[in-house]
Amino acid sequence: MTTSTQTLPLVKEPERLESRLAEIPPEPGIYMMRDSSDRIIYIGKSRKLRSRVRSYFRESQKLSERIATMVRQVTEIEFIVTDTEAEALALEANLIKQHQPYFNVLLKDDKKYPYVCITWSEDYPRIYITRKRQLGKEKDKYYGPYTDSHLLREILRLCKRIFPLRQRPQPLFKDRPCLNYDIGRCPGVCQLLISPEEYRKTVQKVAMVFQGRSSELIDILTEQMHKQAEALNFEAAARIRDQIAGLKSLNADQKVSLPDDTVSRDAIALAADAQHACIQLFQIRAGQLVGRLAFIADAHAEPGAILQRVLEEHYQTADAVEIPTEILVQHELPDTDILADVLTQRKARKVTILAPQRQTKAELIEMVERNAQYELQRMQKLGDRNQQAMQDLAAILDLPDLPHRIEGYDISHIQGSNAVASQVVFIDGISAKQHYRHYKIKNPTVTTGHSDDFASLAEVISRRFRKYAENPQLSRIGNPDWPDLIMIDGGKGQLSAVVAVLQEMNLLEDLRVISLAKRREEIFLPGESEPLSTEAEQPGVQLLRRLRDEAHRFAVSFHRQQRSDKLKRSRLDEIPGLGHYRQKQLLGHFRSVDYIRQATPAQIAEVPGIGSRLAQEIYDYFHPA
């Protein structure tokens, strides 16, 4: 394995490329591709490394847009040889999880489908629904993505009724539990009335529901109920009885007709058009459909290869108990035996992967495929609307290509106080919240009673594109961070302020900037005194309006948050010797200024970083003689 300090892409240095490809052996292993910043941008595996890596650089090879963009950025290729492809598969999964390369995302993270997260990294784990899967904390566990967000929320609501779980993200009272504790819905986590060990046992039972192990959990609870009854602890037995009844109601009327309802199995199928593949995975345990997961992937590979990649990514984060003993697939996988062996080793039990052609199992695959087809049709309708809007916008602005990435900016304040800005991003006409950003305005002239939206926008744009001005060598073509269009919320004045700062940064020629005025939905171009001739209801203008409204919503919500935080800290700022860090410690401990006011000096001194003398000063401030 070698590393190079070269910064030019390999495609621009044919001799170095050919030399590097010749060094790669024709053996199984993994390969890692790096960019000019020495970041790993792609990790792959192959049974023959040399031929696989070489295929990326053949002119005759038809690559997807994503992979072609990646190849243009590769400056170095590293490899690790393994004894078998099964070892390569396991190593690839570990390295992808460790480095999270940008171009390794086969499954599109469009935030369409929700996950359930259990924060095992905390002493008292939280259970919540999210549309963003964060891999930063290794102990946290994600289940999904689920197709029906309404059903998922209902299941989580029922779980919180069946089992005593923390019901609030923050305590309602400082020194006593709330009503949820009194009615048995919460075990008093906020007041530490239950140990972390005991609480985690309860959460483990809820996790079994999302693992598709409800039947196994019911058996465990039934045994516990009988033991409690034998010990004459009838109250505890009754609580467990109610939990069992609630669990049975979760899976009511979800029976799937299969010849062997004792086998746990997953069934996966896809429906694809020229660009996208919609994949559905049905989780069937004890003859019941316990979960229906959905994924979206690029459709530039063979169906079997897409299904295999989805299964690899899905099972690499699954616990051994979640892996079924039988997996039914719509198409033959390229490496069925290798994947089956890897899953068998992890589960410590035989895992079979089948592509059924007849009878009941084939009918199950057909049902999964129909659901995937319906999902594809829904996505196509949404895509057609966005495509029409982008085509219309490109025509309005005379753009050479459709605007793939559009950024919108807005300012929010009240007479200059707590001035903030928002950056929102639409990718192919759909909001991409993972790319949203907040800015606190730092301009010293923007103060309470003196606002300056022009200067604020100029500051935000300067901060957003500073790295490109300071380093002109940064790639822009094919760079997913570089916008095709920038929209400023405002009129000619706001646009002129942004144009001026981009001219100073020598970036104006490479960026297309417009503004959208609120009153008449008018589009202004740099240097033009009159707006473009458009209709407020035409698709391209509607797309800009959605972007503008989202930028406004995002800016206002952040401004309100900042204003609320300032109100919380305003009185604390008046206490001598109480800096920002200690204020944060106090509010984290007491939750509000009102509780600090009610506390005794001894209680205040319990806060880390607050000594007895400062505690007395804080008390005296709220209780003047």
**pLDDT tens across 307-345, in order?**
988 898 888 778 888 889 999 999 999 888 888 988 998
**Pick from 4-8, 30-34, 475-479: least confident:** 4-8
Q: What percentage of the chain reaches a pLDDT higher than 70? A: 93
Here the tokens at position 412 are 């929010």
> Can you count the helices (H) and strands (E) in the chain?
20, 18
Q: Which backbone phi and psi does 430 adopt, to 5 degrees?
A: -120, 135
The top-scoring range by mean pLDDT among 212-221, 312-321, 331-340, 447-456 is 331-340
pLDDT digits (tens, 9 = 90+) for 409-426: 999 888 777 889 999 999
* Measured distance CA(459)–CA(156) in Å, rounded: 44
Do 265-378 and 403-566 agree at the fold level?
yes
Q: Does residue 73 contact residue 36 with C-beta atoms inside 8 Å?
A: yes
271 pLDDT higher than 80: yes
- Average pLDDT of the segment spanning 582-588: 83
The CA-atom distances, in angstroms, between 104 and each of 302, 329, 347, 476 are: 17, 23, 26, 20
Matching CATH number, 403-566, of 1.25.10.10, 3.40.50.970, 3.30.420.340, 3.40.50.12780: 3.30.420.340
Residue 616 CA, distance from chain mean position: 45
The mean pLDDT of 19-46, rounded to a whole number, is 89
Interval 287-294 mean pLDDT: 78
User: Please, are residues 416 and 447 in contact by the beta-carbon 8 Å criterion?
Assistant: yes
Amino acid at 177: P
Angle separating helix axes 149-162 and 196-210, nearest 10 degrees? 140
Nearest CA to 480 out of 420, 532, 528, 425 is that of 425
Angle, helices 539-570/359-397, rounded to nearest 10 degrees:
90
Tokens describing residue 438:
């907040």
Whole-angstrom CA distances from 34 to 49, 92, 213, 475 are 16, 15, 42, 14
Q: Determine the Cα angle at 15 with ends 13 and 21, to 5°.
A: 100
Using DSSP's 3-state secondary structure scheme, residue 405 falls into: strand
**pLDDT computed for residue 106 by the predictor:** 55
The answer to whether 191 and 177 have CB atoms below 8 angstroms apart is yes
pLDDT at site 4:
41
The rounded distance, in Å, linking the Cα atoms of 557 and 534 is 30
pLDDT of residue 260: 62
Q: How far apart are CA 312 and CA 67, in angstroms?
A: 19
Query: Cα(130)–Cα(120) distance, rounded to whole angstroms?
Result: 15
What is the spatial distance between Cα 462 and Cα 291, in angstroms, rounded to a whole number?
Answer: 47
Cα 496 from Cα 458, distance rounded (Å): 9
Per-residue pLDDT of 60-92, as tens digits, reads 667 766 778 888 889 999 999 988 887 888 788
Q: Give dist(CA 52, CA 49) in Å, integer.
A: 5
Q: Going by C-beta distance under 8 Å and a sequence separation of 6 or more, which residues neighbour residue 17? A: 10, 11, 57
What is the architecture, at CATH level 2, of domain 571-622? Orthogonal Bundle (1.10)
Among residues 447, 480, 591, 502, which one has the least CA distance to residue 108?
480
**Residue 168 structure tokens:** 């609030």
pLDDT in the model for residue 565 = 67
Q: Cβ(371)–Cβ(344) under 8 Å?
A: no
The token duo for 75 is 């400056």
Burial 386-411 (b: 16+ CB within 10 A, else e): beebbebbbebbeeeebbbbbbbbbb
**Using CA atoms, how far apart are residues 315 and 323, in angstroms rounded to an integer?**
7
Helix (H) or strand (E) segment spanning residue 397: helix 359-397
Report the C-alpha gap between 507 and 465 in whole angstroms. 8
**By the 8 A CB rule, do 17 and 11 touch?**
yes
- CATH classification of 265-378, choosing from 3.40.50, 1.10.3470, 2.40.300, 3.30.420? 3.30.420
The SS3 of residue 271 is strand
**What whole-number distance in Å separates Cα of residue 366 and Cα of residue 372?**
10
Query: Kind and range of the H or E element at 280?
Result: strand 276-285
pLDDT of 576? 79
pTM for the full predicted model: 0.57
How far apart CA 250 and CA 209 sit, in angstroms, is: 9
Using DSSP's 3-state secondary structure scheme, residue 621 falls into helix
CB distance 131 to 93 below 8 Å: no
pLDDT digits (tens, 9 = 90+) for 109-143: 445 678 888 888 888 998 888 877 665 577 888 88
Cβ proximity of 279 and 270 under 8 Å: yes
Alpha helices in 487-579 (DSSP H): 492-504, 539-570
The domain ranges of the chain are: 10-104, 115-250, 265-378, 403-566, 571-622
- Percent helix, strand, coil in the chain (nearest 5)? 45, 20, 35
Residues 6 or more apart whose Cβ sits within 8 Å of residue 33: 40, 41, 42, 43, 70, 74, 76, 77, 78
What is the average pLDDT across 42-49?
A: 88
Handedness of CA 532, 536, 539, 542 (dihedral sign): positive
The C-alpha atoms of residue 123 and residue 53 are separated, in whole angstroms, by 45
Rounded distance, CA 66 to CA 42, Å? 11
Q: Which fold has domain 10-104?
A: GIY-YIG endonuclease (3.40.1440)
